[in-house]
Structure 1
Amino acid sequence: MKFRKLSYPYLVWMGIFILVPLFMILYYSLSIKGVNGLSFSNFKEFFCSINLVVLLHSIKIAFVTTLICLLIGYPTAYLISKAPLKRRSIMLILIILPMWMNFLLRTYAWMNILAKNGILNNFFRFLGLSPKTMLYTQGAIIVGMVYNFLPFMILPIYTVLEKMDHSLVEAAKDLGANNLQTFIKIIFPMSLTGVITGITMVFIPAISTFEISALLGGNKINLIGNVIENQFRVIGDWNYGSAISMVLMIIIFITMLITNKFNPDDEKTGGGLW
């Protein structure tokens, strides 16, 4: 009982810096500047505007980014988990090392790589190829997102694979299962907890980011995060911006519910799936 008192500072911190801002956003989203009373007008305006198309496009880009991160991240995490201990530590440091650098600096670096006179196009010229338009495109945004969010896919999958009970894998091979059958029936179900965590950790920032799309998209391709930033910082319509933020938070909450539904109950056996 006495240890519960130790949680009081955290509860106060959570109330001040999480719950209070959320209630403020909810209040602003249901109010109109200069008008008394609550209204759903901001939400109606959003669902009848072009910004709804921007939201759907943002979901599409976030989905593609998450899928690419999964396709790259799972084999990478698996190879790291199979590597010798000394080599494994070096590989993990190489994955984590870029995260020590400022997020904006990492994104600016890709601007220099993808620019018209950047590293890639200079390499193409060296090979005798014509330069390509890569910067300020949807592809550049996806590349920037994959680069920045890939560690959030690799690390949780690696953590689960590293703790996996390998005796089950050996038992499957003793019973005649080949490598593909062992992966489908044993390894992947056992690692599904890390996969779900990775998907959540990549999809949520990917759908709400605005720095990557602003820098690598050159404001030619706006995502929903750019629309929200524009409402708060440029236009100054906090009410409409709060309404869009509430819609985005609801989508993120639904995404978390869906991913948690597929989260296995037992990460060692994959019992929640099989």
Structure 2
Amino acid sequence: MARRALLTARRRRQLLPYAILVPGVAWLVVFFAIPVLNQVYVSLESGTIEQGYAFDWNWSSYGTALSDYQEQFLRSLFYAGTATVLALVIAFPLVYFVAFRGGRYKTVLLALIVLPLFMNFLMRTVAWQTILQDDGFVADTMRSLGILEEDGRLLATRTAVIAGLTYNFLPFMALPIYAALEGVDRRLIEAATDLYATRWQAFRRITVPLAMPGIVAGSLLTFIPALGDYVNASLLGSSRETMIGNVIQSKFLVLTDYPTAAALSFLLMLFIVVLVAIYIRVLGRRSLFEAAAA
């Protein structure tokens, strides 16, 4: 009897990890796997919203998506990549100062970085419309300094779209890097300087490699949503700055061309997966696991 109870208790301990996984797996199946499979199914349909749609393995939607919207794909890649690089250039020195020089004000400084996230994404983007408007302070100042031509403008340009993307996703770059820098053992840097390394050499060979997991995580958290964003291009750009997210939004909600919209969505997801795989391959698997832990 005691042996049977022992086996039952051991069996429960073995099953406990799988039981803990059940809610997460169920969530992924219901809210990720099923919607993705549904979009694949829709992308292979043909018809119109008036006539109805029928599943007939219509692969032409993928051909249309690739042939007609290459420009939007490439533009989205350029905008998202540029915004990611700019966010990294801005965020790294900012959080470096907070982590190493913030002192008792670390919490306040970190809260100021996160504070924009407490405002609605749409409202933050609309605020940039006011900042970059043609008769605004920024445009007038740039004209007076000769940076912008007299008839030049900032709003409805690629500069405005990239600026909006950079601003909106900057906290997602800053927070993982801060977490990585906060975990850096200061004694390693002191040991490097004791061994006659300059401050720059210690930064380049110790601080940056140790912060790499945060850089990886921040880059992914910035690049992926920026690539599929459509709000910034809609509010801060013009028809010449249309991103692939704008095309998908229009196909779903305006033109009701569901098969092409689903094909574009699925291709965008595959595009992101391939780019992320290449990015992780270049940086190494160790950085991926450390970034996930961060």
Tell me the TM-score normalised to structure 2 length: 0.84
- Paired residue for 2:80? 62
Partner of residue 9 from structure 1, selected from 20, 23, 28: 23
Matches within 5 A, 1:24-43: 24-33=38-47, 34-43=53-62
Q: CA deviation at 1:220?
A: 4.1
User: Distance in 2 between the 1:11 and 1:101 partners?
Assistant: 31
Once the two structures are superposed, what CA deviation does each residue of 1:35-70 show, in whole Å capped at 9, x if it has no partner? Answer: 542132111112222x11111111011111111111
- Paired residue for 1:272? none
Matches within 5 A, 1:238-257: 238-257=258-277
User: Distance in 2 between the 1:140 and 1:174 partners?
Assistant: 46
Question: Does the CA contact (< 8 Å) of 1:196 and 1:263 recur in 2?
Answer: no
Q: CA deviation at 1:266?
A: 6.9
The amino acid of 2:272's aligned partner reads I
User: Distance in 1 between the 2:260 and 2:130 partners?
Assistant: 35
User: Distance in 1 between the 2:248 and 2:187 partners?
Assistant: 50
Matches within 5 A, 1:185-200: 185-200=205-220
| Equivalent position SS for 1:38 | coil
User: Distance in 2 between the 1:173 and 1:146 partners?
Assistant: 35
Once the two structures are superposed, what CA deviation does each residue of 1:129-166 show, in whole Å capped at 9, x if it has no partner? Answer: 95741111110001101110111111111100000122
The amino acid of 1:42's aligned partner reads S
- Count residues in correspondence: 267
Larger deviation, residues 90-99 vs 219-228: 219-228
Unmatched tracts of structure 1, length 5 or more = 270-274
- Paired residue for 2:192? 172
Question: Does the CA contact (< 8 Å) of 1:200 and 1:259 recur in 2?
Answer: no
Whose helix fraction is larger, Structure 1's or Structure 2's? 2
1:265 aligns with 2:269: no
- Paired residue for 2:243? 223
Q: CA deviation at 1:18?
A: 1.0
Q: CA deviation at 1:123?
A: 5.2
Once the two structures are superposed, what CA deviation does each residue of 1:173-202 show, in whole Å capped at 9, x if it has no partner? Answer: 111110111112111111111111111111
Partner of residue 211 from structure 1, selected from 231, 234, 242: 231
The amino acid of 1:226's aligned partner reads N
User: Distance in 2 between the 1:12 and 1:176 partners?
Assistant: 55
The structure that has the greater radius of gyration is: 2
Unmatched tracts of structure 2, length 5 or more = 1-14, 48-52
User: Distance in 2 between the 1:146 and 1:46 partners?
Assistant: 27
